[in-house]
Amino acid sequence: MADAYVVLAGKLGYAESERLGKLLRRLMDKEEAEIVASLPCPVAELAQKLGKKEEKVNEMLKKLFEKGGIFMTSKGYQFARDIFQLHDATACDVRSDKVWGRELLDLWEDFLQAEWYADWAKIVQTWKMPLWRAIPARKAISKETKLLPSEDVEAILDKATRFALTSCSCRRVGTRCDSPVEVCLQVNRAAEYAITRGTGRELTKDEAMKIMDVAEKAGLVHSVFNGSVVANVICNCCADCCVFYYPLTKYGVLEKGVAKSRFQAEVDKVACDGCQTCVERCPFEAVDMVKIPGEKKLKAQIGSEKCFGCGVCAVGCDSEAIRLVEIRPPEYIPV
């Protein structure tokens, strides 16, 4: 049999990558890698192949599932379908720090920076529609504004039945900012997965809502799957570490991968006291301070091209000088 690590790296499109090989060797031992390379495969067959009892094979599969190396699918356990899935599952697991310290996370960072980010940007460049979408902070939306269910944090949580909090894999790997890490909100199926695996802490709906408040205060961007279906996850992303925002900005294809919300920030120049908090908070460098004739202080101005309509600026404006205005119709959200 070919080297199982090479087989696994090949399944993810990186058979030649020494960096990914090193990471996989850290994640699983040789015997585990051989099992994973044989998946999907009935347990009885695996047991026969390995000369082990079924009970032992089941134990090994469970351990691999808990580590994030394999996933339960309709065909039984399978290896990760792509780099994205393996990264998310393994890097969010704070329990692994006891085993590896930062070693596994640093191996991820090395591989992503040196190989995957550039490839990822090339893939995203070919997308016809962004897969990810920013949705507005609830504290930035006025009471009169009617949000669609797929862009309304409160409506998403209202419809969900189960909630789990996991750590942000991107910030654990990237460490390029000091934003909170425990703010990834899994709902429904994704929550079940996190709770079963032991990587997620179950939350009540009220607790989940409080996490959204923490994220908004910290200047993180609520982000969801770009469709009209209600999300399985509400990510709270930063532009420094997120596997969407960071590399896609770096390679100039952000809007190919992430859709703006239907909103755009607007500044009330009279109410603006020129404090510049919004300039510091905006993750997309969409705010400039400009001179207005007759005014002593500089005033904030939103660059419409750059604004993602996340509302992070409005949440941080103590003068309540920023509001989000609806500039795109409901049809903008893909079905």
Is residue 168 a contact point for ligand SF4 (CB under 6 A)?
A: yes
In the complex, the smallest distance separating the C-beta of residue 322 from ligand SF4, rounded to whole angstroms, is: 5
Binding residues among 243-302 for ligand SF4 as defined by CB under 6 A = 243-244, 265, 267, 272-278, 282, 284, 286-287, 300, 302
In the complex, the smallest distance separating the C-beta of residue 275 from ligand SF4, rounded to whole angstroms, is: 3
In the complex, the smallest distance separating the C-beta of residue 20 from ligand SF4, rounded to whole angstroms, is: 19
Provide the mask over 176-205, with x wherever binding to ligand SF4 is found by CB under 6 A and - wherever it is not.
--------x---------------------
SS (H, E, C) the chain: CCCHHHHHHHHCCCCCCHHHHHHHHHHCCHHHHHHHHHCCCCHHHHHHHHCCCHHHHHHHHHHHHHHCCEEEECCEEEECCCHHHHHHHHHCCHHHHHHHCCHHHHHHHHHHHHHHHHHHHHHHHCCCCCCEEECCCHHHCCCCCCCCHHHCHHHHHHHCCCEEEECCHHHHHHCCCCCCCCCEEEEHHHHHHHHHHCCCEEECHHHHHHHHHHHHHCCCEEEEECCCCCCCEEEEECCCCCCCHHHHHHCCCHHHHEECCCEEEEECCCCCCCCCHHHHHCCCCCEEEECCCCCCCCEEEECCCCCCCCCHHHHCCCCCCEEEEECCCHHHCCC
In the complex, the smallest distance separating the C-beta of residue 239 from ligand SF4, rounded to whole angstroms, is: 9
In the complex, the smallest distance separating the C-beta of residue 264 from ligand SF4, rounded to whole angstroms, is: 7
Provide the mask over 120-159, with x wherever binding to ligand SF4 is found by CB under 6 A and - wherever it is not.
----------------------------------------
Is residue 119 a contact point for ligand SF4 (CB under 6 A)?
A: no
Residues that bind ligand SF4 (CB under 6 A): 168-171, 184, 235-237, 241-244, 265, 267, 272-278, 282, 284, 286-287, 300, 302, 307-313, 317, 319, 321-322
